[in-house]
Structure 1
């Protein structure tokens, strides 16, 4: 008795460069679980391909370039998202300030995620980090959309043992912008602690992400600046291509941007930020590790656990990639796990007061 092979994940490539489309197809089809079912050159062709395909053959994920002739990605995005069943859209963005701004606009308009196109100096589309990131995002978002995926219910508000926190450190990577937005939305405008966020992102993109998060109605969010004094009630985002470190200067805590080598292949990385905070606050650091590839944050959380601090992690069911939070959870360091929303509620209960 034969069993049918599992259906492949269907992907559409929408880019005005045939060379880029061919290169992306080669990357995606290295995974036997993925099939590229359409390659089109602009947004109008993408809509026609979606409408012309039977439901069982229609693309489930659309990799969408933003800058194209005829119909660009931003024009096509809301029209693509009206199709049923609704496709997952991952936008491909240029590594420029304009590209970063357009990416954040696309996320606000309903795109699930973004993938920055690497420059030729870094190996271009053959860069192994780009290839791994692309495959992880395509498969991760598709997994979350599956009917069998069950997002865990909000856990009870975690009870904190020992010393109350004096600072919160949040780390994230793949899938992080949407997870951060979901968490920050749950925080009240008035919080009693400073919050530091380390999101793996290129330079330029973090400034746009800070503006995106700042507009959500929670605490004020800004990209961290060299020499800035840490203040309660604010959220500081590590800028791309710099580690974010805290240093005690008298009674103040001052932020410093470091050009030290990448850690865990990342700059900014979570581990150096956590180490610097533990040196000042000890067990009074509260760490939250959200969705992301790799294991950045694991060593910092080990040090925090030894100091007696609290560590929470995003659960597997709600993570695009359960790499970073999974590493912390499997090491037995996560005292609580939950969705970004439930973790945000718990943080609000822990350190905030609603107006």
Structure 2
């Protein structure tokens, strides 16, 4: 028997509420059980309706989305909350604040809601997969929800001859990644001794602000990568939104090459692009870490690096917001260790010491 996913839609705009409810109504496994016009109503509706997931606007009267999120988290720490954001500097900052307060994920509002059909399609394509990924494990059998199927056991990759001390740390993440990075990078020492390359699925501007926030708390230097940047030990370079990040080696110097080639795994930047190019430059002398994220981006790149002798680590399911990306790597038998997020910094430091 199919259990439908119950959604509460929160937005002060009647047009946006209409777009969201119409988009969700097209999915047979989703049911909009209520709407709220501000944060006060949202908190009340969560208590009254017990939804499986909440979509939350940020800027609202009486109580904004950040305030409502804080109140909801106090009583419902694991309820998935997806924020609606604008592609502006203010919207990016508010979204990152929301993610740091426990928001599960975010979607960007359509830039032009003049054409209703286009707005509905844009919301549906972003929102429905996220709802299914975030709620799938909590429901008995949501239609089309792969996460609801009983998982095969994780196979830890066997110990093997090392390709040598890693010369680079590669990190891939998506849903839940900004918070995971905020908890992981500050616990890596300034003496790490290798460069760090990160792909986090985020739009342009969001990655710029994410890098700035991470740099404030980390001992390592964190910044958004630019085309032609030299890859240096002690620096964390984050792929900019809407650009693939590749590595190129010339005259003994590894540099960043950015491009807007076709999306891979529906993503740009894509983790697989970085991982494959790193295999060409470093071979097996790489330490790969796959953190929380929806989908399977990073799986094939991790396979290439693992075959070359690289060490692969994955975040465990219990500490992942969505165990899509690390789960794919883990169940493929590519990870030497599948660990809680809080154990990964020490494991990374140990592998690089």
Alignment TM class, shorter chain as reference:
0.7 to 0.9
Q: CA contact under 8 A between 1:141 and 1:320: conserved in structure 2?
A: no
- With 29-38 and 247-256 compared, the bigger mean Cα shift is at 29-38
1:178 shift after superposition: 2.2
1:65 and 2:57 matched: yes
- SS at structure 2 position matched to 1:20: helix
1:135 and 2:126 matched: no
CA RMSD of aligned residues (A): 2.9
Q: CA contact under 8 A between 2:104 and 2:321: conserved in structure 1?
A: no
1:62 shift after superposition: 2.9
Query: 1:237-261 deviations in whole A, cap 9, x for unaligned?
Result: 0000001111112122111211222
1:338 and 2:339 matched: yes
- The residue aligned with 1:256 is 257
1:206 shift after superposition: 0.7
Return the TM-score normalized by structure 2: 0.82
- The residue aligned with 1:196 is 197
1:90 and 2:86 matched: no
1:205 and 2:200 matched: no
Alpha-carbon distance in structure 2 between the residues aligned to 1:35 and 1:110: 24
Query: 1:261-307 deviations in whole A, cap 9, x for unaligned?
Result: 21222110112211221222111011112222222212212221221
Aligned residues: 331
- The residue aligned with 1:101 is 93
1:126 shift after superposition: 1.7
1:124 and 2:119 matched: yes
1:39 and 2:35 matched: yes
Q: Summarize the alignment of residues 166-245 of structure 1 with structure 2, pairs less than 5 Å apart.
A: 166-245=167-246
- List runs of 5+ in structure 2 lacking aligned partners: 140-155
Q: CA contact under 8 A between 2:204 and 2:240: conserved in structure 1?
A: yes
Cα distance change, pair 159–16 in 1 and its aligned pair in 2 (3 A): farther
Q: CA contact under 8 A between 2:228 and 2:257: conserved in structure 1?
A: yes
- List runs of 5+ in structure 1 lacking aligned partners: 144-154
Cα distance change, pair 314–26 in 1 and its aligned pair in 2 (3 A): farther
- The residue aligned with 1:351 is 352
Alpha-carbon distance in structure 1 between the residues aligned to 2:137 and 2:70: 18
Cα distance change, pair 258–174 in 1 and its aligned pair in 2 (3 A): same
Query: 1:5-59 deviations in whole A, cap 9, x for unaligned?
Result: 79765432210122322332344455666543321111232234346x2xxx334
- The residue aligned with 2:295 is 294
1:111 and 2:103 matched: yes
- The residue aligned with 1:78 is 70
Q: CA contact under 8 A between 1:117 and 1:125: conserved in structure 2?
A: no
- The residue aligned with 1:149 is none
Alpha-carbon distance in structure 2 between the residues aligned to 1:75 and 1:217: 27
Cα distance change, pair 141–7 in 1 and its aligned pair in 2 (3 A): closer
